[in-house]
């Protein structure tokens, strides 16, 4: 990629390239930050990727980095690179409102481990991104604030719940960003926006400082416009954290970075029968089939496989995730932090009034569902059974990976849908996670890559999802890199103008 | 403890006989005890675990439940919890897990408490109380304490989260008790074990140990009836008082015309000595327990358990028995010396160093323990004294050798407890060394005989006891420094009656 029509301004570059050119003295970190802030000021009113920018803080940090370089400090792998953070990530002093009225004005009193690691690597947090409230949603429409727009068609959803982080990278409001993926919240918006999103193996990245939704599923996940950036960002944020007892006792991830691109000879790619057919848009399956054929042309072998319990994944997910959420969100009661509504003056009255006013409909729906499935007398039938089905889903993958190296299929069953299209039908919204939820329940790494474009006017991005065994991120990235090197989909960018709308 | 008299009832043993109906009732009692573990830090964060700090000064992002924070288990807490289990002969589970207990209250910052629900780390065990009754434990589990709500300061409720996240163990007995005396004895014994093993300070006044009572009554031979839980009793005497109140209340309710007792939680009013309804079973929250996804299963390897077993001190009951059997101490002395672990440790060291357990026991119980409650001395705990076990052993040795007589030794000991100086040094400093020089002793004795012919005759006549008054004269002349043993010998020799 090269600096584009902006006449030499440091925009449109990948994070690694940008970092190298800053270190080489081609731009200063301050110039880069200023350029991105200017671009965001110009475009955000039509895209709504960012809910807040702390320009002073970003500029101050960029200046410090420039000085550090002058002082001879070794620049980190993300030196001077602007990064956008989802609004459920703690950066001390920044508003971490999770897209909810409940936490409107809440400023994190500490910095998340993965954010601290990004800072350590030299990244410049440039903005907090819009998201579905408490990461519950697949379109961004559940934000209590603004709903991000798909940069390929502003009338369409950018996906969710990490909507703003995806839009930011797709529209080059930042070279890279972080989202969180619980049931597809990074992969699905990556697919909808035509960029890369990688949900790591559960435990790869510390959750300390990520506001919890479904604790046994949540993973901080990077967005990028190229594979190289994706893997560097994962390298930076991953690795054991003593503050998170569920983080794996492993060193930080290290990508393979083969000197020359490998063909995929010998690679067996499983294509699940259950990820085809009913519910899958033809335009999506056409693009995915073409992408799979391309992988085959690179030497991979496509193997039809079965993941027999796939159809139970969505119901299982909506029991497990909502149960955990109902407990995780219990703390928002108006007493310690966030907003408060006094109600009838009693303690329980204050809790109730605060929660009625502070949470949106989807969050309330999931809290009710989660509370129900954990209730005495229903626990075994719902939560207990869901845990057993989760084990079956995990076994589906284990037995599949005995005969294939990775699994590929569509990331989302549809093209980006129109805003408003699914808001009145929660179930059809839930089904947009059909293909992403199984890997979440199994804790497996999964990557969505830009596979091409489908539909008529305008053509919309389609994502291909690669799912691997636990800790196989390097393999997923290698395959994505081979695909990237031999196709041009990832390089296509939406054309945007300040006036609003795609040109 | 004496059995209280309650109007309308006669008591025979543990039976309560209703005078109106003649029915013989038996109480069934089980106890749940929360004890704070004596760790440096809280159960899931690095905040200090300390009582009495200014409100909310011992808090952090984790124990105030800030969004995005996660718990990390304090391994010291697990060690202490396992020691408590081993001390009561319970079984430690190789694998257990933490669960969330969800309920809304302002002193529970996350609105769930991390506890152990259906897989506690410990099961079984028992404690035998002095009446001979063995109280079996069902389980012990670990959990975090809640904060404290303060309701009596102005109109609003204030919340202090210093206690939020402090490690607790909750031990639950089987319903093996049927009277308040044994309940009190059980609590004392448990408390003693917790303090002794260093697991908890178990100071009930500070809330470091708290008790809930489960209690029901039924006619002799009939099935058990509905139980009532009395919550948050903060002293053993309140436990006794609540049981003594609750038994006749329940019997009267079963026998009376009003409603029968219902399953409910009651609060004890210490001022009135009565219990009142806190919430009924229907009013109880559904806690929606489920495994905490933030904490992996807890494992205790056999090696870890053995390490904890090795770290356990000998428990007070075993020590008492040994002191009586091996050292010839009285049951009373053995009880006094083992009441606190530091005293028992001090005693054992002094006994071993001096080779005189009885003397060591006498000095400790008659002099040293008394000094600890005397304002004249700064120390309140035996370990705080400048006097160490080897100092006491030295003192015992000096008395043994005859260098020091008892009253002098008492003087020396008191000085040692203040200054920490060695016994030998103080003997010289205080001029207390006994005079052993025969010539000097003989001179004093000869002088004492002058003009005391009557006494001399008595002694010669076989009344050797009469020599005592002569000795008194010698001691007076020597200002107490003459060695009484030698003086006696010399006096008898001079009178001409050797023994």
Which of A55-59, A165-169, A433-437, B152-156 is the least confident region?
B152-156
For chain B, say whether A90 makes contact (Cβ under 8 Å): yes
> Do B403 and B460 have their domain in common?
no
- Residues B64 and B161: beta-carbon distance below 8 Å: yes
For residue B68, which residues of chain A lie inside 8 Å, CB to CB? 88-90, 96, 108, 112, 207-212
Is B344 part of a structural domain of the chain? yes
Contact A243 B100 (CB under 8 A): no
Last residue of some domain: B405, B429, B453?
A: B429
User: How far apart, in Å, are the Cα atoms of B452 and each of A105, B147, B249, B495?
Assistant: 102, 80, 78, 11
**pLDDT reported for residue B154:** 78
In this structure, how many other beta carbons lie within 10 angstroms of the beta carbon of residue B46? 12
**Residue B86 phi/psi, 5° resolution?**
-65, -35
Mean pLDDT estimate for chain A: 94
**Could you give the 3-state DSSP secondary structure of residue B262?**
coil
DSSP, res B281:
G
| CB distance A13 to A21 below 8 Å | yes
pLDDT (0 to 100) of residue B285 = 78
pLDDT given at position B201 = 95
Q: Are residues B76 and B24 in the same domain?
A: yes
pLDDT band at A499 (very low <50, low <70, confident <90, very high): low
β-strands A301-305, B209-219 pairing: unpaired
Q: Is A424 exposed, middle or buried (0-12, 13-18, 19+ CB in 10 A)?
A: exposed
CA distance linking residue A36 with residue A34, whole number of Å = 5
Q: Is B198's pLDDT higher than 50?
A: yes
Give strand pairing partners of A275.
Answer: none
Q: Are A413 and A437 in contact (CB under 8 A)?
A: no
Residue A80's nearest CA partner among A40, A28, A3 is A28
Query: In this predicted model, what pLDDT tens digit does every residue of A363-382 receive, in sequence order?
Result: 999 999 999 999 998 999 99
Nearest C-alpha of chain A: how many angstroms from B271?
A: 27
A249 touches A195 (CB < 8 A): no
First to last CA, chain A: 21
Q: Is residue B316 part of a domain?
A: no
**How many residues are present in chain A?**
503
Count how many domains chain B has.
3
Least confident among A30-44, A406-420, B7-21, B112-126: B7-21
- A471-480, B199-208, B404-413: which range is least confident on average? B404-413
- Is the previous residue joined to A161 through a cis bond, with omega within 30 degrees of 0? yes
| Domain span including residue B53 | 9-299
Residue A5: pLDDT band by 50, 70, 90 thresholds? very low
Closest residue by Cα to residue B112 from A333, A327, A348, A244: A327
pLDDT at A378: 93
Distance from CA of B153 to the nearest CA of A (A): 16
pLDDT band at A2 (very low <50, low <70, confident <90, very high): very low
Whether B390 and B421 share a structural domain: yes
pLDDT value at B418 more than 60 = yes
Average pLDDT along chain B: 91
* Run of H or E including A170: helix A163-170
Minimal C-alpha gap between A257 and chain B (Å): 33
| Cα–Cα dist A332/B418, whole Å | 57
Which of B43, B66, B68 best probes binding to A when mutated, by most A CB atoms within 10 angstroms? B68
Could you confirm whether A364 is annotated as catalytic?
no
Residue B354 sits in the same domain as residue B287: no
Q: Which of B66, B102, B296 sits opposite A330 (nearest CB)?
A: B102
> pLDDT by residue (tens digit) across A255-270?
987 777 678 999 999 9
Per-residue confidence (pLDDT) for residue A501, from 0 to 100: 46
Give A82's pLDDT tier (boundaries 50, 70, 90).
very high
Confidence of residue B207 (pLDDT cuts 50, 70, 90): very high
Buried b or exposed e, range B421-433, using 16+ CB within 10 angstroms: eebbebbeeeebe
- Which chain B residue has its CA at the smallest distance from A352's CA? B104
Residue B52 backbone zone (phi > 0: left; psi -120 to 50: alpha; other: beta): left
CB distance A245–B159 less than 8 Å? Answer: no
> Mutating which of A88, A321, A330 best tests the B interface, going by the most B Cβ atoms within 10 A?
A330
Element (H, E) at A38: helix A29-47
Q: Tell me which DSSP letter residue A65 carries.
A: H
Nearest to B294 among A211, A245, A335 (CB): A245
**Per-residue pLDDT at A469 exceeds 60:** yes
Q: B410 burial class (0-12, 13-18, 19+ CB within 10 angstroms)?
A: middle
Answer for the pair A181, A85: CB distance below 8 angstroms, yes or no: no
The backbone torsions φ and ψ at residue A48, rounded to the nearest 5 degrees and listed phi first, read: 55, 35
Both B93 and B151 in one domain: the answer is yes
Q: Report chain B residues whose CB lies below 8 A from the CB of A371.
A: 288
Give the pLDDT confidence of B344-356 residue by residue, as tens digits: 999 999 999 999 9
pLDDT at A7: 53
| Across A188-215, average pLDDT | 98
Cβ of B71 under 8 Å from any chain A Cβ? yes
DSSP letter string over B125-141?
-EEE-TTSPEEEEEEEE
- Cα separations (Å) of A424 from A134, A141, A322? 19, 11, 19
Active site residue A86: yes
Tell me what the mean pLDDT of segment A226-233 comes to: 97
Lowest mean pLDDT across A226-235, A492-501, B191-200, B440-449? A492-501
Q: Could you tell me if B275 and B362 lie in one domain?
A: no
The Cβ-side half-sphere exposure at A193, using a 13 Å CA radius, reads: 37
Claim to verify: residue B209 and residue B96 sit in the same structural domain = yes
The pLDDT confidence band at residue A391, using thresholds 50, 70 and 90, is: very high
**Residues B187, B44 share a domain:** yes
In a domain, B39, yes or no: yes
Query: Can you give the pLDDT at residue B499?
Result: 54
| Distance from chain centroid for Cα A292 | 23
Q: For residue B4, is it within any domain? A: no
Instruction: Check whether B273 has a pLDDT greater than 90.
Output: no
Helix or strand holding residue B299 (H, E): strand B298-299
CA atoms of B295 and B291, how far apart (whole Å) = 8
Handedness of CA B203, B204, B210, B212 (dihedral sign): positive
Asked if the Cβ–Cβ distance from A212 to B288 is below 8 Å, we say: no
pTM: 0.88
Taking CA–CA distances from B106, the nearest residue in chain A reads A335
- Write down which residue in B299, B314, B348 finishes a domain: B299
pLDDT for A12 equals 95
Weakest-pLDDT range from A226-235, B62-71, B458-467: B458-467
Q: Please indicate whether residue A162 is annotated as part of the active site.
A: no
B298-303 long-range contacts (CB < 8 A, ≥24 apart) are B298/B73, B298/B78, B298/B95, B298/B96, B298/B97, B298/B98, B298/B121, B299/B94, B299/B95, B300/B78, B300/B82, B300/B92, B300/B93, B300/B94, B300/B95, B300/B96, B300/B121, B301/B94, B302/B94
Chain A, 116-145: which have a CB under 8 Å from a chain B CB?
none
Whether the pLDDT of residue B421 is over 90: the answer is: no
Residues B33-58 have a mean pLDDT of 96
Are residues B444 and B421 both part of a single domain? no
Domain match, B412 and B486 both: no
Please indicate if any CB of chain A lies within 8 Å of the CB of B150: no
- Asked if A214 and A121 count as a contact pair (C-beta separation under 8 A), the reply is no
Out of B68, B104, B109, the one facing A210 most closely (by C-beta) is B68
Is residue B184 assigned to a domain?
yes
Per-residue pLDDT, B325: 93
- What CA–CA distance (Å, rounded) separates B372 from B217? 45
- Whether residue A4 is predicted with pLDDT greater than 50 in this model: the reply is no
Q: Is residue B3 part of a domain?
A: no
Q: Is the domain of B53 the same as that of B175?
A: yes
Lowest mean pLDDT among A65-74, A190-199, B276-285: B276-285
Q: Sorting pLDDT into bands at 50, 70 and 90, what band is A410? A: very high
Confirm whether B202 is domain-assigned. Answer: yes
Residue B456's CATH number:
1.10.10.410
Provide, rounded to the nearest whole percent, the portion of chain A with pLDDT above 90: 88
Same-domain pairing of B146 and B118 = yes
* Sign, Cα dihedral of B60, B61, B66, B69: negative
Q: Which of A210, A213, A198, A217 is nearest to A244 (CA)?
A: A210
- Could you identify the residue written with the tokens 């003295």? A25
Q: Is residue B478 part of a domain?
A: yes
In B174-227, the DSSP E strands lie at 209-219
Number of CB atoms found within 10 A of residue B138's CB: 18
Q: Which of B376, B411, B429 is the last residue of a domain?
A: B429
A322 touches chain B (CB under 8 A): no
Inform me whether the C-beta atom of residue B46 falls under 8 Å from chain A C-beta atoms: no
Residue range B239-265: mean pLDDT, rounded: 91
Examine the pLDDT at A90 and tell me if it is beyond 90: yes
Flag whether residue A220 sits within 8 Å of chain B, measured between CB atoms: no
Residues of chain A with C-beta less than 8 angstroms from the C-beta of B102: 326-327, 330, 374
Question: Residue B293's closest chain A neighbor by CA?
Answer: A216
Q: Is the Cβ pair A336, B67 closer than 8 Å? A: no
The 3-state DSSP class for residue B25 equals strand
Q: Does B56 touch chain A (CB under 8 A)?
A: no
Q: Is the pLDDT of residue A254 over 80?
A: yes
Query: pLDDT for A98-142, tens place per residue?
Result: 999 999 999 999 999 999 999 999 999 999 999 999 999 999 999
Going by pLDDT thresholds of 50, 70 and 90, the confidence category of residue B496 is: confident
Q: CA of A410 to nearest chain B CA: how many angstroms apart?
A: 29
Share of chain B above pLDDT 70, in %: 98
> Nearest 5°: phi and psi at A196?
-95, 140
CB pairs under 8 A between A and B: 100
Three-class secondary structure of residue B54 per DSSP: coil
Q: Are B104 and A348 a contacting pair at CB < 8 A?
A: yes
> Quick one: pLDDT band at residue B492, thresholds 50, 70, 90?
confident
Flag whether residue B283 sits within 8 Å of chain A, measured between CB atoms: no
Residue B4 pLDDT level (bands cut at 50, 70, 90): low
- Asked if B451 reaches chain A (Cβ–Cβ under 8 Å), the answer is no
| Catalytic hit among A138, A139, A161, A238 | A161
């Amino acid at each position: 990629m090269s600096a584009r029509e902006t006449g030499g301004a440091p925009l449109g570059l990948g994070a690694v390239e940008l970092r190298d050119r800053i270190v080489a003295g081609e731009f200063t970190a301050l110039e880069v930050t200023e350029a991105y802030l200017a671009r965001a000021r110009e475009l955000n009113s039509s895209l709504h990727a960012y809910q807040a920018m702390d320009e002073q803080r970003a500029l101050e940090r960029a200046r410090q980095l420039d000085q550090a370089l002058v002082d001879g400090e070794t620049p980190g792998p993300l030196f001077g690179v602007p990064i956008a953070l989802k609004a459920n990530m703690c950066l001390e002093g920044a508003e971490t409102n999770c897209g909810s009225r409940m936490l409107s004005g809440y400023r994190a009193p500490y910095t998340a481990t993965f954010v601290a690691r990004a800072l350590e690597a030299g990244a410049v947090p440039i903005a907090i991104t819009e998201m579905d409230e408490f990461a519950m949603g697949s379109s961004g429409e559940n934000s209590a604030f603004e709903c991000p727009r798909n940069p390929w068609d502003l009338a369409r959803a950018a996906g969710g719940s990490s909507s703003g982080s995806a839009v930011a990278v797709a529209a080059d409001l930042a070279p890279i960003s972080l989202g969180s993926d619980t049931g597809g919240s990074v992969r699905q918006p990556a697919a909808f926006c035509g960029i890369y999103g990688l949900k790591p193996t559960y435990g790869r990245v510390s959750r300390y400082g990520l506001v919890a939704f479904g604790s046994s599923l949540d993973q901080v996940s990077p967005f990028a416009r190229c594979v190289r950036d994706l893997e560097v960002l994962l390298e930076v944020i991953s690795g054991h954290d003593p503050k998170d007892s569920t983080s794996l006792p492993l060193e930080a991830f290290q990508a393979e970075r083969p000197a020359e691109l490998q063909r995929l000879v010998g690679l067996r790619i499983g294509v699940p029968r259950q990820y085809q057919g009913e519910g899958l848009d033809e335009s999506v399956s056409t693009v995915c089939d073409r992408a799979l054929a391309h992988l085959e042309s690179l030497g991979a072998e496509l193997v039809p496989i079965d993941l027999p319990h796939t159809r139970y994944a969505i119901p299982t997910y909506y029991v497990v995730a909502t149960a955990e959420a109902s407990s995780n969100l219990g703390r928002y009661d108006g007493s310690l932090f966030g907003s408060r509504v006094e109600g009838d003056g009693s303690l329980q009255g204050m809790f109730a009034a605060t929660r009625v006013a502070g949470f949106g409909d989807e969050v309330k729906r999931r809290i009710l569902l989660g509370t129900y499935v954990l209730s005495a007398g229903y626990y075994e039938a719902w939560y207990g059974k869901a845990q057993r089905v989760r084990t079956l889903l995990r076994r589906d993958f284990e037995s599949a990976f005995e005969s294939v190296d990775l699994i590929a299929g569509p990331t989302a069953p549809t093209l980006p849908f129109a805003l408003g299209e699914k808001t009145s039908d929660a179930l059809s919204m839930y089904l947009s996670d059909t293909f992403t939820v199984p890997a979440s329940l199994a804790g497996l790494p999964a990557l969505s890559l830009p596979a091409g474009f489908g539909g008529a006017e305008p053509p919309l991005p389609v994502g291909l999802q690669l799912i691997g065994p636990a800790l196989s991120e390097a393999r997923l990235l290698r395959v994505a890199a081979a695909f990237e090197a031999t196709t041009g989909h990832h390089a296509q960018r939406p054309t945007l103008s300040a006036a609003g709308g795609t040109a | 403890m004496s059995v209280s008299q309650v109007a309308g009832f006669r008591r025979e043993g543990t039976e309560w006989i209703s005078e109106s109906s003649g029915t013989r009732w038996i109480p069934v009692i089980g106890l749940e005890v929360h004890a704070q573990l004596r760790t440096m830090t809280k159960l899931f964060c690095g905040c200090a675990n300390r009582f009495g700090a200014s409100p909310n000064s011992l808090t952090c992002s984790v124990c105030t439940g800030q969004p995005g924070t996660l718990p990390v288990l304090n391994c010291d807490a697990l060690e202490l919890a396992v020691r408590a289990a081993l001390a009561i002969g319970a079984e430690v589970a190789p694998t257990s897990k933490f669960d969330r207990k969800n309920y809304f209250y302002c002193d529970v910052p996350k609105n769930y408490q991390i506890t152990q629900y259906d897989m506690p780390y410990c099961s079984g065990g028992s404690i035998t109380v002095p009446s001979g009754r063995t109280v079996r434990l069902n389980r012990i589990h670990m959990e975090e304490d809640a904060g404290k709500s303060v309701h009596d300061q102005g109109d609003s409720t204030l919340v202090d989260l210093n206690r939020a996240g402090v490690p607790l163990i909750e031990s639950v007995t089987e319903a093996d008790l049927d009277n308040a005396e044994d309940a009190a004895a059980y609590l004392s014994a448990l408390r003693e074990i917790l303090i002794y093993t260093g697991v908890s300070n178990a100071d009930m006044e500070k809330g470091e140990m708290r008790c809930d009572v489960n209690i029901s009554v039924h006619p002799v031979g009939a099935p058990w009836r509905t139980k009532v839980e009395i919550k948050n009793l903060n002293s053993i005497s309140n436990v006794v008082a609540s049981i003594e109140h609750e038994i006749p209340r329940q019997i009267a309710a079963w026998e009376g015309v009003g409603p029968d007792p219902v399953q409910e939680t009651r609060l004890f009013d210490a001022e009135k000595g009565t219990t009142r309804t806190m919430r009924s079973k229907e009013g109880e929250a559904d806690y929606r327990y489920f495994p905490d996804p933030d904490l992996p299963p807890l494992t205790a390897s056999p090696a870890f358990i053995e390490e904890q077993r090795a770290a356990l001190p000998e428990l007070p009951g075993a020590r008492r028995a040994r002191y009586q059997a091996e050292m010839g101490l009285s049951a009373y002395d053995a009880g006094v010396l083992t009441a606190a672990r530091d005293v028992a440790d001090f005693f054992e060291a002094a006994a071993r160093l001096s080779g005189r357990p009885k003397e060591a026991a006498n000095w400790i119980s008659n002099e040293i323990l008394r000094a600890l409650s005397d304002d004249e001395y700064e120390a309140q705990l035996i370990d705080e004294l400048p006097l160490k076990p080897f100092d006491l052993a030295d003192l015992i040795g000096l008395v043994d050798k005859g260098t020091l007589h008892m009253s002098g030794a008492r003087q020396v000991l008191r000085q040692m407890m203040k200054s920490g100086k060695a016994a030998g040094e103080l003997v010289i400093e205080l001029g207390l060394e006994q005079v052993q020089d025969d010539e000097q002793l003989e001179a004093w004795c000869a002088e004492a005989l002058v003009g005391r012919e009557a006494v001399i005759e008595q002694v010669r006549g076989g009344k050797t006891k009469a020599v005592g008054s002569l000795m008194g004269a010698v001691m007076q002349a020597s200002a107490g420094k003459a060695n009484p043993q030698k003086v006696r010998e010399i006096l008898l020799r001079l009178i001409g009656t050797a023994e």
